[in-house]
Amino acid sequence: MMLNGRIQSLPKELKLLIGIFLVVLSIGFYTGLLFVNETSSISTNGIEENYLGNENDEDAEVMKFKKSPKEMLSIVHSHILSMSLIFFLLGVILSITNLPNKIKLFLMIEPFFSVLFTFGGLYFLWKEILWMKYLVIFSGTFMTLTFTASTLIILYQLIRKQN
């Protein structure tokens, strides 16, 4: 079945549904990034402090304690499940866009690796494998870039006039 470029032939109602879904999804995604910024300042030291605590830092403005095993399992579990669904739905929609197959495949598959590396990295950071904070920053940035690129491509192709 030929899916490439099918997005432009969708009925207006379905295009509107997809467009609104992507806008609301993006608000949720970027609000999550604001939360990450508030809790960790999106820095390697901030991420480490957020999960391992800062009880030894007497000059800390806000006292943070190491996350409990239940907290970590809840964070990893909920984020891997929800982000997998988000990127699956985004990938399904992306599959009907008009893009070169290699780019499309990369944008559809890469976020799943980033989700595993980001949230798996947080778990191993919590287990005090400290270099994982760099993997978390790198993969989280990559995940955000692929989300943004995919969303913009889909929105652009939804509003573009059919040839």
* pLDDT at position 163: 60
- Give residue limits of the domains in the chain: 10-159
Report the alpha-carbon distance of residue 98 to residue 8 in Å, rounded: 9
Rounded to two decimals, the pTM is 0.92
pLDDT, position 61: 81
Q: How many residues does the chain have?
A: 163
| Per-residue pLDDT at 1 | 61
Tens-digit pLDDT profile for the chain (163 aa)?
678 889 999 999 999 999 999 999 999 999 999 999 998 888 898 999 999 988 888 787 888 899 999 999 999 999 999 999 999 999 999 999 999 999 999 999 999 999 999 999 999 999 999 999 999 999 999 999 999 999 999 999 999 876 6
Contact 98, 8 (CB under 8 A): yes
Return the ∠ at Cα 136 (arms to 130 and 137), rounded to 5°. Answer: 110
